[in-house]
Amino acid sequence: MTQRSVLIIYTGGTIGMLADPRTGALRPMDLAHLEEQVPELDRMNVRLGSESFETPIDSSDMRPADWVRIARIIGKHYEAYDGFVVLHGSDTMAYTASALSFLLQGLNKPVILTGSQLPIGTIRTDAKENLITAIEVAAACDEQGRVRVPEVAVYFEYSLYRGNRTVKVHAERFEAFRSPNYPRLAEAGVHLKYDGAATLPFRAGQLKVHDRMNDNVGVIRLFPGIRAEWVRHALSTPGLKAVVLTTFGSGNGPTDPVFISALREATERGITVVNATQCFGGRVEQGRYTTSQAFVELGVLSASDMTVEAAVTKLMFLLGQGLGAKELGAAFGTSLAGEITT
Ligand code: ASP
């Protein structure tokens, strides 16, 4: 079999950081620093290429334009490599993974995001294992030479997850990610065990790299006692096109008439409202309780079992396609890249 090839795209994050001698705070370093720390890369039977953000960033500084930048790099090198590894800060990795799953329409090759909780130069680092296994996954193919994971995934601490199903769940543990509503795509132990039934099927047609995200999207997290006038004020933000309400349990919220009329005014102005649960797992079922009945009447869209990260980036993506409210409503409820159970 011919040697497999993987392109590493370095965007920043803890994996490549060093302590600033002046303040002691961690800041991103260039790709050369990272490569120096992993001599094992030369021993892998994979042809590696690399691309890097000119100035690597902490993922808290990621913006939709950066997601498009990563998608374009993948599009530019799509034919030249068998797979892609995106090195990224863990803080907003779930958003980037979700956004890439929508931007890379028709993807049939692995795009594996990984990073680490400790910088690669530290003795107890989790970075080396994450990087080396992510490359293995990106290069992996079956006996017929077909890639194992033809989708955007996150590899972290022995688990491979569908990217748009992930949530960062811990600020310190090496096991920082989970996929509450979808099984793991692979588990790394002595062997790398893939769950072929969980991965997306191969898609027909060519890769299409989208390049527009509309960031006129907001998130309002409900809490008991939330003031209706505050909600009304937030919904009056100029330019706002869509909002994700993170609700209680299976999609419930206050029945306070002032709160409901604030939502009604927003929907009448054409703002799309989405209902996503604050719960870690499970799905929204609008109308199950009286406390979600008003959402049904207002035409609020259910995020079902999507993560908030997937819901926000999907809205940005669909608005970026210029969809009107009706088409957006229909597209939001369909699975574009396995982000929702339909
Ligand atoms: N603040 C870092 C980042 O997201 C944390 C990490 O990489 O784990 O870029």
What CATH number should be reported for the domain holding residue 270? 3.40.50.40
* Residue pair 263/273 in contact by the 8 Å Cβ criterion: yes
Residue 338 lies in a domain: no
288: which residues sit within 8 A by CB, 6+ positions away?
250, 251
d(CA 140, CA 114): 16
Q: Which of these three, 188, 209, 230, is where a domain ends?
A: 209
What pLDDT, in 10s, does the model give residues 253-310?
A: 999 999 999 999 999 999 999 999 999 999 999 999 999 999 999 999 999 999 999 9
Q: In this structure, how many other beta carbons lie within 10 angstroms of the beta carbon of residue 39? A: 8
- Please give the pLDDT value at position 121: 86
Residue 126 lies in a domain: yes
d(CA 88, CA 73): 14
Residue 39 backbone phi and psi in degrees, to 5: -60, -20
Reduced to 3 states, what is the DSSP secondary structure of residue 82? coil
What's the DSSP call for residue 325?
Answer: H
Q: In this structure, how many other beta carbons lie within 10 angstroms of the beta carbon of residue 67? A: 25
Return the closest-CA partner of residue 244 out of 219, 214, 269, 278. 219
Helix (H) or strand (E) holding 217, with range, is: strand 217-221
Q: Which residue shows structure tokens 């191969």? A: 202
Q: Which residue shows structure tokens 């996929």? A: 179
State whether 272 and 197 are in the same domain.
no
State whether 155 and 263 are in the same domain.
no
State whether 149 and 34 are in the same domain.
yes
160: which residues sit within 8 A by CB, 6+ positions away?
112, 137, 149, 153, 154, 184, 185, 186, 187, 188
Instruction: Pick out the chain residues at pLDDT < 70.
Output: 1
d(CA 60, CA 11): 12
- Please give the pLDDT value at position 20: 85
- Please give the pLDDT value at position 331: 97
State whether 196 and 222 are in the same domain.
no
Q: Which two tokens stand for residue 187?
A: 């588990």
- Please give the pLDDT value at position 174: 94
State whether 165 and 233 are in the same domain.
no
Q: Which residues of 201-220 are buried (b: 16+ CB within 10 A; e: fewer)?
A: eeeeeebebbeebbeebbeb
Residues linked to residue 84 through DSSP beta bridges, in sequence order = 7, 111
Residue 340 lies in a domain: no
Residue 54 lies in a domain: yes
State whether 183 and 287 are in the same domain.
no
State whether 35 and 54 are in the same domain.
yes
Q: Are strands 301-302 and 272-277 parallel, antiparallel or unpaired?
A: parallel
Residues linked to residue 184 through DSSP beta bridges, in sequence order = none
| Helix locations, 140-198, DSSP H | none
State whether 137 and 162 are in the same domain.
yes
Output the domain CATH number for residue 46. 3.40.50.1170
Residue 21 lies in a domain: yes
- Please give the pLDDT value at position 18: 87
Best residue among 14, 130, 154 to mutate for probing ligand 1, ranked by most atoms within 8 Å of CB: 14
Q: Which residues line ligand 1 (CB under 6 A)?
A: 12-14, 58-60, 89-91, 115, 117
Residue 259 lies in a domain: yes
Atom of ligand 1 nearest to the CA of 92: 4
What's the DSSP call for residue 252?
Answer: B
Residue 67 lies in a domain: yes
Residue 101 lies in a domain: yes
- Please give the pLDDT value at position 30: 83
Q: Which two tokens stand for residue 237?
A: 């933000």
285: which residues sit within 8 A by CB, 6+ positions away?
250, 251, 292, 302
CA of 11 to the centre of ligand 1 (A): 11
CA of 55 to the centre of ligand 1 (A): 15
Residues linked to residue 19 through DSSP beta bridges, in sequence order = 26
Q: Which two tokens stand for residue 166?
A: 């992930």
Q: Which residue shows structure tokens 């790398």? A: 192
State whether 178 and 68 are in the same domain.
yes
Q: Which of these three, 209, 238, 272, is where a domain ends?
A: 209
d(CA 219, CA 214): 14
For 244, the domain range is 217-332
Check 2, 11, 14, 290 and give the catalytic one: 14
Give the chain's domain count.
2
14 is catalytic: yes
State whether 205 and 228 are in the same domain.
no
Residues linked to residue 86 through DSSP beta bridges, in sequence order = 9, 113
* Residue pair 244/221 in contact by the 8 Å Cβ criterion: no
State whether 242 and 108 are in the same domain.
no
CA of 309 to the centre of ligand 1 (A): 16
Q: Which of these three, 179, 209, 239, is where a domain ends?
A: 209
- Please give the pLDDT value at position 1: 64
